Amino acid sequence: MENKIDVAEVKLTAKDFSSDQDVRWCPGCGDYSILAQVQRTLPDIGKKKEDIVVVSGIGCSSRFPYYMNTYGFHSIHGRAPAIATGLKVARPELSVWVATGDGDLMSIGGNHFIHACRKNVDLKVLLFNNRIYGLTKGQYSPTSEKGKITKSSPYGSVDYPFNPLSLALGSDATFVARSIDREPKHLQEMIKRAAEHKGLAFIEIFQNCNIFNDGAYSHLTEKETKMDNVLVLEHKKPMLFGKNKEKGIKFDGFTPVVISLEDGKNSINDVMIHDEFDSNPIRAFILAHMTDDPALPTPIGIFRQILKETYGGGVQRQIDEVTEKKGKGNLEKLLFSGNTWVVD
Amino acid sequence: MDKNKKNVQDLKDVTIRFAGDSGDGMQLTGTQFSNTTAIVGNDLNTFPDYPAEIRAPAGTLYGVSGFQLHFSSSSIHTPGDSPDILIAMNPAALKINLKDVKKNAIIIINSDSFDGKNLKTAHYDSNPLEDGSLDGYQTFKVPITTLTANTLKDSKLSTKEVTRSKNFFALGLMYWMFNRPIEPTIEWLNSKFGKKPDILDANLKVLKAGYYFGETAELFTTRFSVAPAKLPKGTYKSISGNEATAIGLVAASELSGLPIFLGTYPITPASDILHYLSTYKNFGVKTFQAEDEISGVTAAIGAAYGGSLAITTTSGPGMALKTEAIGLAVITELPLVIINVQRGGPSTGLPTKTEQSDLLQAIYGRNGESPVCVIAASTPVDCFYMAIEAARLATKFMTPVVLLTDGFIANGSEPWRIPHVDELNKFEVKFETNPEGFYPYNRNDLLSRPWVKPGTPGLEHRIGGLEKANIFGNVSYDSENHHLMCNLRAQKIKNIQNEIPDAEVIGEHKGDLLVIGWGGTYGAITEAVANVRAQGVKVSQVHLKYLNPMPKNLGDILKGFKNVLVPELNLGQLSKILRIEYLVKTISYSKLKGLPFKSIELQNKILEIVGGGNGK
């Protein structure tokens, strides 16, 4: 199956994708960076501006379409994947993006998300995960850590959080990736790769809410700590991290462990090689769950990418096959089909 | 035939009810009898009435499934008040249905099933075939199970499969009794079971055995004949409301030039619309069976945004779930056809039974000032035309349109004089493509905003659920603007009044009593009014198909009558609206039994009001 994008006729710039509306996110919000990286990347995905649609639900992140000078639909809470599905199935030639947050996608819209993944609808889903409800002013979200103290959990949340990547993998999403608002180059690369993917592409973006959950990802974004805490996954490359790439991930059976390449006990050959295209999802699950163990670094990058027929492709194929077999529908014939009789 | 010559008695009209276990194939039997009766040229009207349980435990009262059919040599509007003939396949079917049949009705009974176990399951203390319960009826005890087994004694089929084909014995017997050809059913069996020769052969044998049993058994001395009805010239077929709705949508697609997108979730009694539409793929129809009701409607909204003829189908509980999304379609002013095949509520209610209790929900059931157009189909055939009308109004006024049908007309069927495509009016839809002076909420004379397909260069814009500035369409929290937009949206729906036909009055335009109904009660009300008018009683009738807005002339009509009777299968929802909108005193006549009105119930109510003393 081909997985290449078309070539644009006219070279657009980030500015072409910026609408005339004032951006109303809080100063310092991670959303600004995501908006900027999307605007910088879209000129390179080979789509005309008018063929791009951004659909969103409700929440801070869902204001996204208003700031994009493309077609856009700011809808209702949680339903963006379903609206986007209808649009994409009706209009397969469009590039349809979903901008959503952890409350919007993982809570009220959870059902639509898993089914869009399962059906492999050709959507690009950007999850702005700040682990908090921002727009409603600071309640815990389905990705907030257990015990989190918020306005609605003054004694600590008793909920266990979702692992969005694991949920996407478990729903058989065909492209699953993670990036960080503070890693613009990496984020641009992920957006571009998602755009190229034929099928549902899911990117979890760690995004800082500096008002209600400031510093949620600081260990992954601050200079002093990030090299030791972030594992950048690259296809066919060993899983190395640390200031001098001196640490690696070894799979001890199904358990990832950190090994040092400096203690003389291990060599580069012991380090796991990442394979984005592994047809077996198990390793991607293991990587997704590395965040469960604070001793392990947090992977970013493409966890898994596979190709299979998209939902829209299947719908169109069936229409073509049935039309081929039965001939193009004829309304007059349809009206007069079945057991008819004539009254003279 | 020669040696057993039977009398043939001519009848004007007949009502038959087939009743048995939900697994006995009564719906199939009734449908086959209806189709054949239609081909013979009778006018007919059907009423399938089945339980929510797919295969309820055998012999139980709650597992009884019925199919009533009224056919006639003249024009009819209802499935008949009371059966002239009841076919009861087991004691439970007899017990449930006996109270409905006419005095001296013919009752044909599968006597094999009246054993101790089945009698007990049906809560009979003694055998009604022996204890005088059936005195006053013409009862025929036929050992249908045994006769079916004997017919198939050489068959390879299992006992279970043999027993299952006994409904074809009953069908064959009815074909004989009413002088109907068996060929249409033979043809149907051939097409259905062509790949299963054993089952085909068994069903054919049993069907014929039933037919010849009537002819040769000395049990029956009379058979009946119902002459063809004098219907207007044309080509006809028998059609159910759900099928008519589906075909109407395909017609609307052709008439508008828009591709169909149906976003839906299976729900009784609306699922058949999905089933039909999913077979029309060569018309370019896209059906999306969503993960839930909300996804069904929101996917349709996405498709509407993309320029499709967007449809969602459901029934009451699903309608409740779609509420928020319908509000989104209201504020984004996108065309959307919402079809609610009403059933008994609240909550899960009576999933397989009919009701009209979602009218207020359709008109008012959303947050905020959220006006939508609401229309209703009045008969199975009318579903075809109202589906087209829903699509026409939705696209012309850029609004959601709710089409209300109900379980009764959705599953019931009647003959349809099929229109040719060129008899249907086109309503081609134009999309905005000109960037010059384009604003997303720049309205035309009707107050409709432009419809732009994503992919149109230079017209990139954003819509959404937040209030939008008039004309320009940017997010606006301005108080004056919100007030204006609420009024504009309301006025747009009111403007639909100029696009819809005036209400028609049957009978005098002034008088003592107007009977006004809406939707699927059309047949029963029409028959009741016609019957009392035939007795010389002065009563007039209006039947509404446009509920929001209502026809322009309705207020004047209402003023012409001293009394306004509003029969509804709810607790007076239209009645309430008429009181509010037109300040008229109405008499609400309610029925909430999961059943359609009988025309006799309405006749009695009418006579009570006009003081006719019910002819006494």
Are B60 and B118 in a shared domain?
yes
ipTM score assigned to the predicted complex: 0.96
DSSP string, A50-98: GGEEEEE-SSSGGGGGGGBSSEEEE-STT-HHHHHHHHHHH-TTSEEEE
Average pLDDT, chain A: 96
**Same domain, yes or no: B286 and B145:** no
For the whole model, what pTM was predicted?
0.95
pLDDT-wise least confident of A6-20, A44-58, B444-458: A6-20
Asked whether the beta carbons of residue B282 and residue A327 sit closer than 8 angstroms, the reply is yes
Q: Are residues B323 and B278 in the same domain?
A: yes
- B420: nearest CA partner in chain A: A332
pLDDT tens digits, residue range A136-192? 999 999 999 999 999 999 999 999 999 999 999 999 999 999 999 999 999 999 999
CATH class of the domain comprising A14-237+275-315: alpha beta
Q: Are residues B269 and B408 in the same domain?
A: yes
Q: How far apart are CA B464 and CA B475, in angstroms?
A: 8
| Integer Cα distance of B363 and B369 in angstroms | 11
pLDDT of residue B3: 47
Rounded to whole angstroms, how far apart are CA atoms B549 and B528? 27
Asked if the Cβ–Cβ distance from B455 to A49 is below 8 Å, we say: no
Residues B224 and B386: their CA atoms lie apart, in Å, by 37
What DSSP assignment string belongs to B241-278? HHHHHHHHHHHHHHHHT--EEEEE---TTTHHHHHHHT
What is the number of domains present in chain B? 3
Q: Which residues of B271-288 are buried (b: 16+ CB within 10 A; e: fewer)?
A: bbbbebbbebbbbbbbbb
Tokens of A203: 């990117």
Q: Is A88 on the interface with B (CB under 8 A)?
A: yes
**CB atoms A89 and B288 under 8 Å:** yes
Same domain assignment for residues B64 and B138:
yes
Q: For position B121, what pLDDT does the model report?
A: 96
Q: Where are the domains of chain A?
A: 14-237+275-315, 240-273
Q: Would the CB atoms of A50 and B307 count as touching at under 8 Å?
A: no
Of B169, B176, B204, residue with least CA distance to B190: B204
**Which range marks the domain in which residue B203 is found?**
7-226
pLDDT of residue B615: 40
| Both tokens assigned to A252 | 């001890």
CA distance A127 to chain B (A): 19
Residues B337 and B219 in one domain: no
DSSP A10-59: S---GGGGB-SSPP-SPTT-THHHHHHHHHHHGGGTT--GGGEEEEE-SS
Residue B241 sits in the same domain as residue B220 = no
What's B517's domain CATH number?
3.40.50.920
Instruction: Name B518's bridge partners.
Output: B544
Last residue of a domain, one of B226, B254, B272: B226
How many Å lie between the alpha carbon of B285 and the closest alpha carbon of chain A? 8
- B280 vs A contacts (CB less than 8 Å): 329, 334
- Strand-pairing partners, residue B568, are B590
Between the alpha carbon of residue B278 and those of residues A252, B19, B319, the distances in Å are 50, 31, 21
- Please indicate, yes or no, if residue B444 is contained in any of the structural domains: no
- Residue B419 in contact with partner chain A when CB distance is under 8 A: yes
- Is residue A7's pLDDT more than 60? no
- Give the tokens for residue B50: 């089945």
Q: Give the type of residue at A234.
A: E
Mean pLDDT by 10 residues, chain B (616 residues): 70 96 92 94 93 87 95 95 97 96 96 95 96 95 96 93 94 96 96 93 97 91 92 94 98 98 98 98 98 98 98 98 98 98 97 97 98 98 98 98 98 96 96 97 97 98 97 97 98 98 97 97 97 96 98 98 98 98 97 96 96 50
What pLDDT, on the 0 to 100 scale, is given for residue A19? 95
Clarify whether residues B180 and B62 are in a common domain: yes
A100: enclosing H helix or E strand: strand A95-101
**Which of B395, B423, B451 is at the close of a domain?**
B423
Q: If we measure between CA atoms, which residue out of B20, B272, B304, B319 comes closest to residue B170?
A: B20
The order of strands in the sheet holding A255-260 is A240-241, A247-252, A255-260
Q: How far apart are CA B274 and CA B246, in angstroms?
A: 8
Pick the residue from chain A with its C-alpha nearest to B465. Answer: A75
CA-to-CA separations, B75 to A344, B71, B372, B525, in angstroms, rounded: 16, 9, 35, 15
The last residue of a domain, from among B393, B423, B453: B423
Amino acid A5: pLDDT: 60
Token output for A9: 């006729």
- A318–B184 CB contact, under 8 Å: no
- Distance from B287 to chain A by nearest Cα, in Å? 9
pLDDT at B51 (0 to 100): 86
User: Any idea what the CATH number is for the domain that residue B290 is in?
Assistant: 3.40.50.970
For A265-289, how does the pLDDT look when each residue is reduced to its tens digit (9 = 90+)? 999 999 999 999 999 999 999 999 9
CB contact under 8 A, A340 and B453: no
CB proximity B291 to A under 8 Å: yes
DSSP string, B397-415: HTSEEEEEEEHHHHH-EEE
Q: How many CB pairs under 8 A join A and B?
A: 204
- Å between B304 CA and nearest CA of chain A: 8
Q: Give the minimum alpha-carbon distance from A69 to chain B in angstroms, rounded to a whole number.
A: 7
What are the structure tokens assigned to B145, written together? 């199970």
Chain B residues near residue A87 by CB distance under 8 angstroms: 302-303, 305-306, 454
Angle at B309 between CA B272 and CA B254, to 5 degrees: 85
Minimal Cβ distance to A94: which of B421, B454, B458: B454
B340 in the same domain as B221: no
List CB contacts (< 8 A) between A19 and chain B.
462
Classify A320 as helix, strand or coil: helix
Are B242 and B349 within one domain?
A: yes
B175/B246 same-domain check:
no
List, in sequence order, every beta strand (DSSP E) within B82-168.
Answer: 85-88, 106-110, 138-142
- Report the CATH number that the domain containing residue B128 is assigned in CATH: 3.40.920.10
- CA nearest B413: which of B528, B599, B245, B220? B245
Q: Which two tokens stand for residue B204?
A: 């054919």
Q: What is the mean pLDDT of residues A198-218?
A: 97
- Are residue B322 and residue B359 in the same domain, yes or no? yes
